[in-house]
Amino acid sequence: MNYLQDARQHVLQQIQTACEHAQRAPETVQLLAVSKTHPSESLREMYAAGQRAFGENYLQEALDKVEALQDLDIEWHFIGHVQRNKTKHLAEKFDWVHGVDRLIIAERLSNQRGNDQSALNICLQVNIDGQDSKDGCAPEEVAELVGQMSQLPKIKLRGLMVIPAPDNTAAFADAKALFDAVKDQHTHPEDWDTLSMGMSSDLEAAIAAGSTMVRVGTALFGARDYSQKG
């Protein structure tokens, strides 16, 4: 096995073990491979190892990879901060957008999604532990936003996305409680199935609390080199 194949098997094993501890079926947790800063060839290699869902944070870099890898059947997730003037590319090129935290962003994504495309999957990002510098809506806003966003025609509102402060694993339980509490506000409650939380260092705690999608970068691809980025 090569390095990336090996790393992926290791992470899948970690997910399986965490699921066993939490008495959950392993297929209830999806692995999103976070590939920001890594070259297209690495994604191609990870794809050959069986990975289909990839998450990117930087729009231009992501668009270059979507172009370079268009021969592959990749499910593209955008997990970075969504800027209001950049929604068109996201609406057209991605399958999922996780960092949606304002109604205007969801409205733009819905309006800009192609008529021939299926509804865009989105997660509502919540600043679950009240961090100063973090994106995400306030927990108190979630119920109303779920009601509003779930009515948009070209949006499929799938759930919540959180990035608690490092080591604040208690916030995962808060996110799960909120996720369960607001389901009734959804116009199509059957779409509400995704709790996007947990990264390389805390995926076990996230799974124990109820995560359905862990976003893993470092444990799959190794450390990131940001020296090439502006």
Ligand X SMILES: *Cc1c(COP(=O)(O)O)cnc(C)c1O
* Binding residues among 180-199 for ligand X as defined by CB under 6 A: 199
Nearest-CA neighbor of 101 among 117, 85, 84?
A: 84
Among 46, 109, 120, 216, binds ligand X (CB under 6 A): 216
Interacting span for ligand X (CB under 6 A) from 12-20, 46-54, 147-155, 213-221: 213-221
Residue whose beta carbon is closest to ligand X: 217
Residues 140 and 127: their CA atoms lie apart, in Å, by 10
Task: Give the residue with the Cβ less far from ligand X, 14 or 87.
Answer: 14
CA angle in degrees (0–180, nearest 5) for 167-172-178: 150
Residue 218 sits in the site that holds ligand X (CB under 6 A): yes
Contacts with ligand X in 73-92 (CB under 6 A)? Answer: 79
| 163 neighbors 213 (Cβ within 8 angstroms) | no
Q: Which of 124, 128, 163, 207 forms a contact with ligand X (CB under 6 A)?
A: 163
Q: Which is nearer to ligand X, 49 or 143 (CB)?
A: 49
| Shortest Cβ 143–ligand X spacing (Å) | 23
d(C-alpha 55, C-alpha 210), whole Å: 20
Instruction: Kindly tell me which residue out of 34, 90, 91, 208 binds ligand X, with binding defined by CB under 6 A.
Output: 34
Binding region for ligand X (CB under 6 A): 34, 36, 57, 79, 163, 199-201, 215-219
